[in-house]
Structure 1
Amino acid sequence: MFQLLRKAGLLFGLWLLLTDAEPDGLPFGAVAAVAGALAVPGGGAWPISPAGWLRFVPWFVGRSVAGGVDVLRRAVSPGRPLDPDWVTFETTLNTPPARHLLAATVSLLPGTLVARLDGQRLTIHVLDRKLPIRRDLHALEARIAGLYAGEGQ
């Protein structure tokens, strides 16, 4: 029971941070936190490292901003510099939660959108094949591996 409360508390804290603790969203946030805590696999310790989150969040926010700026620049530039392509990426992440987090966060890297996750293979649409997509994917994969216990690279 303590583990469930701990997980729900951490998720609710994250909810408060993301929503600036807006009063209108508190009931929904509480329900979402409890549901999320119940959905985390295993009855033991949370498989996500708090220290890993502290390293991941600032990096992720920075990459998200860079992705948004890149897409904005392309949208307003004359001639819209695009050279789209499809990229297939085989992840080394072992667990479904880690792979799903990878797929969800890839779309926030500059010029990328995950079109499919099939086991350990991601199919990604990129706006510009000249971007360092594989380097960014490996960096993201390493950050996500640092979040989860048992995700060796």
Structure 2
Amino acid sequence: MAVRLARRLVLLSLLWWVISGGGAWVWGLPVILATALVMPTSGAARLRPLALITFLPLALWLALRGGLQVAALACRPRLAPATRVIDYPWRHLPEGPGRLFMASLINLLPGTLTLRLTPDTLRIHVLQMDARTRPELERLEARVARLFTQRIVPPDEELR
């Protein structure tokens, strides 16, 4: 129990540090402690440490790129946002912590917002919808699945 709590504290502290830019610990520390204590314990969710290390740069890149996209839309009013609400069908993640993590991660990216999480789909509001949006969501889901030690089903097996 103590080891599990310590891991949660480290993981949540790292996440807080990334999100807050290393600041606001007066607010972050109580939130981290409360979250670590009330988080449900599920034996099914196991994070792969190496996958987490390789995942963090991707999350930072997505946040930076999304921020630049939102800034461009704000600075150039002629560029009308192509907002859409889409239903993304789950392909790689079974029900559980991985889906919740992906739904939460999408909320951290500027210009996107998770609206509803269902057993079959993830409903998302997208600020700038284009042809790359769905493939990017699928790649993100595959990376989250690897993070949670899920087997990725290749697209050709998916059709069988």
Q: Who is 1:140 aligned against?
A: 140
Deviations 1:44-63 (A, max 9, x none): 9x611111110111100110
Report the counterpart of residue 158 of structure 2 in structure 1.
none
SS at match of 1:39: coil
Q: Deviations over 1:4-34 (max 9, x none)?
A: 2442453365267446376635752662364
After TM superposition, the structure 1 = structure 2 runs for residues 1-153 of structure 1, keeping only pairs within 5 Å, are 1-11=1-11, 13-14=13-14, 17-18=17-18, 20=22, 24=26, 28=30, 31-32=33-34, 34-35=36-37, 39-42=40-43, 47-92=46-91, 93-109=93-109, 111-149=111-149, 151-153=150-152
List structure 1 segments (4+ residues) > 6 angstroms apart after TM superposition: none
Q: Provide the aligned length of Structure 1 versus Structure 2.
A: 149
Q: CA deviation at 1:114?
A: 1.8
Question: What's the CA shift string for 1:94-146, capped at 9, x where partnerless?
Answer: 13211111111123446322211111301122223325111110111011011
1:67 and 1:109 in contact (8 A); partners too:
yes
**Does the 8 Å CA contact 2:106/2:114 hold for their aligned counterparts?**
yes
12-21 or 54-63, which deviates more: 12-21
What is the TM-score when the length of structure 2 is the normalising length? Answer: 0.75
Q: Percent identity?
A: 26
Q: Tell me, in whole angstroms, the C-alpha distance in 1 between the residues paired with 2:110 and 2:28.
A: 32
Q: Out of 81-90 and 107-116, give the one that drifted further.
A: 107-116
Note the residue ranges of structure 2 that are not aligned, 5 or more in a row.
153-160
Scaled by the length of structure 1, what TM-score is found? 0.78
Summarize the Cα distance change of 1:101–1:80 in structure 2 as closer, same or farther, 3 Å threshold: same
- CA separation in 2, counterparts of 1:9 and 1:59? 22
